[in-house]
Amino acid sequence: MPLPRAEALGIGPPSFELDLKMDGSNSTTLYITSDGLKGELIVGREGLPFRIEPSRINMTKGDVNAPVKLTFYGNETLKPGVYEGKVTFLAMTGGFVAVGIKIRAKINLLGEAPLPGAPEPRPETPFEPQEMSYTPYIIGSVAGGVIVASLALIILWWKRR
């Protein structure tokens, strides 16, 4: 199977700014173009301490400037201020990461800082990992290769018997 071209996925604009209340949510719209890619986009974040929805987006081969609404949720455990980071998009096709894109994000967290001595709010549930780990994919690939090699050796041994 040929590898996809880097330009097979486009997401824009390349950056955005968003005002977000500590106890609220706010959305922004990005536009996706997928030239020949069909699968799922996994949405993640780098350096942004906010929950984002959706975490997965379906894409089809013919998407051209398809609007996608991303919703960010405030975090009352943080101090008001400007938080900069990236929203990441990994295009999964056929069980593999085909291409990835990062979009710069600048989020202005609005609100009042917690009072001194006030109890810290509990973390939100359900748990959402901060960043995606590739370890399960690597372990799965190695395990699959070992299984295929073992089966090939068993078949060769069986035929020579």
Adjacent-strand bridge partners of 12: 31
57 and 114: one domain? yes
Q: State the Cα–Cα distance between residues 154 and 13, nearest whole angstrom.
A: 53
Q: Does residue 79 form part of some domain? A: yes
Q: How confident is the prediction for the chain on average, in pLDDT? A: 79
pLDDT for residue 66:
84
Lowest mean pLDDT, pick from 130-134, 139-143, 151-155: 130-134
Q: Does residue 19 form part of some domain? A: yes
Q: Using the CB atoms, write b or e for 30-54: b if 16+ within 10 Å.
A: bebbbeebebebbbbbeebebbbee
101 and 159: one domain? no
Q: State the Cα–Cα distance between residues 45 and 104, nearest whole angstrom.
A: 10
Q: State the Cα–Cα distance between residues 11 and 101, nearest whole angstrom.
A: 7
89 and 48: one domain? yes
pLDDT for residue 136:
67
pLDDT for residue 49:
92
Q: Does residue 1 form part of some domain? A: no
Distance of CA 85 to the CA centre of its chain: 13
Summarize the confidence of residues 112-141 as an average pLDDT.
59
126 and 152: one domain? no
139 and 118: one domain? no
59 and 25: one domain? yes
pLDDT for residue 73:
93
pLDDT for residue 64:
77
CB 41 within 8 A of CB 90: yes
Host domain of residue 17 = 6-130
119 and 156: one domain? no
- Count of the separate structural domains present in the chain: 2
37 and 116: one domain? yes
Q: State the Cα–Cα distance between residues 25 and 75, nearest whole angstrom.
A: 9
pLDDT for residue 116:
61
Residue 50 pLDDT > 60, yes or no?
yes
In the numeric block, which tokens belong to residue 30?
A: 């990005």
pLDDT for residue 71:
94
Q: Does residue 152 form part of some domain? A: yes
pLDDT for residue 137:
65
pTM across the whole model:
0.63
